[in-house]
Structures are given as C-alpha cells and as structure tokens.
Amino acid sequence: MNIGIIGIGNIGSMLLETLQSKENFFYIINRTREKIKKYEKIENITICKTIKEVYVNSKYVFVAVKPQHIDEVFKEISEIENDETILISTAAGKEISEISEKSKKSNVIRIMPTVISKIGKGVTAITFNNTIEKNIRKEIVEMLKPLGKILMLDEEKFDAFTILNSSGPAFVAYILESYIEGAINIGLHAEDAKELVLKTFEGTIKFLEKENIALNELKYKVSSPGGVTIKGLYELEKKGVKGSIMKSVYEAYLKNKIL
C-alpha cells in the first residue's frame, strides 16, 4: 500500500515509524529536509520534493503539519487534479467540512492520534466524510491498528477527545513530575523517585482495571482514620488541586475550539 505523509514532526514521524511494514511504501515530505535525512536510505521510503509528488503517488495521504502551515498545504492540494487519493488530517480543530472546502477534495477523513500510539498503547479517534465507502473505511481501520485502539467517534466529540487523549500525556507528565519532585524533596534520589512514582502510577492503573473498583473506593482502601494518606488527600483538596485540573482541561478545550 502506498502511504503519503506531509509533515514529519511528532505525529508524522510516529505514523511513519509505527505503520512501517514490508507491505507499505511511503512518500514523505517535510518543510525542513534536515529532519528527515535519517529516512533517506530506508528502502520503502521515498523523500519527495513537492506535496504533489506525495499526493499523486499515494492511496492515503496523512496531513500532519503544524497548525500555522496547514492552510497552505490544503491550498496546494486543492490545485492537484486527483480525486482518488484519500486525505487523512490529524489537525486539531479542523472539521471535515473546512478541510474539504480548503483542499477542494471530498474524500476526507479525520483522525486524532497521540504520541503514545508509537508503542501501540494509544487510542486514535476516527471519523469519515460520507463519501468514504465501507471497504475503504475497513481498510483504513485495519491499517491504523498498530497505533492501538481505534475509536469511531462523531466529529462533534473530537474537541473533547483531543484534550483527554492527545493533550493528555502532557497533563499526566506534569502530575508525575510533581510527585517525583515531591519525592526528591523528602529525601529520595531523582532516579529512585522517578522509578517509584512511575511504577506506582502503572500499578494503580492495572489494579483499577483488574479489580474493577471505583476510584473513591481505592482511596478509602489505603486511607486509615487520621493517617498519612488522608492527610495528604486533605491537603490536595484544600489547595483545590482537583478543581485546577478540571479547569486546565476546560481551558484547553476552549482553546482547541478556536483553532
């Protein structure tokens, strides 16, 4: 299968490396050629000089450029006389109707992956324009399976999904960092603190999944009356940490709505 990728940044490179297989041939382009030199000698990857070269050689073309460059990419695509290629956008906040209008192409799909899809543990949302036939939909879902779970999602829910899934790793990293630095503050070495915090979070998630219990039930399981855990939880509540996290999610959601 011939796959094009326009923009080899965080998401573009993740798609390229995760979808690599002997059955797939890639046509790629990036504004900064220096960033894609490492792919020059890979047999099934062709580095292209123009967007048109990527587009006309590919059955599916992922557009994974930065928001400030995406409209000019769509403009270039609109000038290509080819209605067979399927356009797949990873852009946050860009609806199918807008993409179709700017690219002058009707075969448009939106997906919303995340950087953790690189290890096959992500959730990728997907929605199709109504011109996309069932056999194509099935083929695309099959193609994307190396990214992890593929979730069919109504387009109106994409903004909320983007914040929880695509932006989520950054929020999680911030919380992990806070606990690691808190552990360093009470005497642990940085590497020991990082390992302990990461294992604790990983183990907690697996425990919740396996035991299928509510989050508050887990809190009560490890909180003794007048003990250290409830004291720590009290401090988090007193400082409004939960509210701050909820507010950060909401503000990110509002920002995504105006992109």
pLDDT confidence of residue 209? 93
pLDDT digits 0-9 by tens, 80-118: 988 889 999 998 888 999 999 999 999 999 999 988 999
53's tokens: 């070269």
Asked if residues 161 and 112 have their Cβ atoms less than 8 Å apart, the reply is yes
User: Along the 259 residues of the chain, how does pLDDT read in single tens digits?
Assistant: 999 999 999 999 999 999 998 889 999 999 888 889 899 889 899 999 999 999 999 999 999 998 888 999 999 999 998 888 999 999 888 899 999 999 999 999 999 998 899 999 889 999 999 999 999 999 999 999 999 999 999 999 998 998 998 889 999 999 999 999 999 999 999 999 999 999 999 999 999 999 999 999 999 999 999 999 999 999 999 999 999 999 999 999 998 877 7
Amino acid at 183: A
pTM, full prediction? 0.84
Q: What is the DSSP letter of 65?
A: -
Written as one string, the DSSP assignment of 171-227 is HHHHHHHHHHHHHHHTT--HHHHHHHHHHHHHHHHHHHHHHT--HHHHHHHT--TT-
If you compute the radius of gyration of the chain from its CA atoms, what whole number of angstroms results?
Answer: 22
pLDDT confidence of residue 35? 84
88's tokens: 């797949």
Delineate the domains of the chain, giving CATH numbers in brackets. Answer: 2-154 (3.40.50.720), 168-257 (1.10.3730.10)
pLDDT digits 0-9 by tens, 148-173: 999 999 999 998 998 998 889 999 99
Q: Measured between alpha carbons, how far is 168 from 140 in angstroms, rounded to an integer? A: 25
Q: Measured between alpha carbons, how far is 194 from 95 in angstroms, rounded to an integer? A: 39
Three-class secondary structure of residue 87 per DSSP: strand
Q: What angle is formed at CA 29 by the lines to CA 27 and CA 34, rounded to 5 degrees?
A: 125
15's tokens: 């798609």
pLDDT confidence of residue 241? 95
Q: Measured between alpha carbons, how far is 20 from 45 in angstroms, rounded to an integer? A: 9
Give 218's Cβ-side CA count (13 Å radius): 13
Q: What is the DSSP letter of 80?
A: S
pLDDT confidence of residue 46? 94
Give 64's Cβ-side CA count (13 Å radius): 25
pLDDT confidence of residue 153? 94
Q: Measured between alpha carbons, how far is 259 from 248 in angstroms, rounded to an integer? A: 17
Q: What angle is formed at CA 254 by the lines to CA 100 and CA 251, rounded to 5 degrees?
A: 150
